[in-house]
Amino acid sequence: MIEVSGVNKTFYLGDSAVHALDNINLIIEQGDYLSVMGPSGSGKSTLLNMLGLLDRPDEGSYLLNGVDTMSLDENERARLRREQIGFVFQSYHLIPRLTARENIELPLMLAGVAAKQRRAEVGVILEKLGISQRAHHLPNQLSGGGASAHRHWPQHRHEAEHPAR
């Protein structure tokens, strides 16, 4: 669950101030599916960067699953990002020299998951994505959909750990 209240973010360019986020209040429940729409420059990327813990607001509060993200240091924010946040970028940011399997496995290695458990989880994720047959292919040998599917890995991983949900 995401709870944002009273969030402000101002950018200064020379002596002009841009209020990219002006008193944002937002609650997103578990399982909600949300689109953020608005004209260019209206603050969509600024909001997503903040929700994704890539940037901090100047003021206000942001609770992610009950955790007050404003009080966390950069290492703690990076850990939360790794464990709870998935980004789907317009470009895939897969590592070109690693296979599909290795690209999925890399963040699990960085998260300190043991080899045996990694193998099991990667197998489940490949299966879910429908690319088990292509586990040993490099990113440029996958279709666009197959490549972008990788980027959801925290969610897939969560489901791999809790298959009943």
Least distance to ligand ATP, CB of residue 61, Å = 20
Residues at the interface with ligand ATP (CB under 6 A): 11, 13, 18, 20, 38, 40-46
Q: Which does 42 bind (CB under 5 to 8 A by kind): Mg ion, ligand ATP, none?
A: ligand ATP
Choose the one of Mg ion, ligand ATP, none that binds residue 66, judging by a C-beta under 5 to 8 angstroms depending on kind.
none
Beta-bridge partner residues of 62 = 4
In the complex with Mg ion, which residue's Cβ is closer, 7 or 129? 7
Q: What is the nearest approach in angstroms of Mg ion to the Cβ of residue 44?
A: 5
State the minimum distance, in angstroms, from the CB of residue 11 to ligand ATP: 3
Regarding 45 and contact with Mg ion (CB under 5 A), the answer is yes
Nearer to ligand ATP, 24 or 125 (CB): 24
Helix pair 100-110, 115-129: axis angle to 10 deg: 130
Residue nearest to Mg ion (CB): 45
Give contact residues for Mg ion (rule: CB under 5 A): 44-45
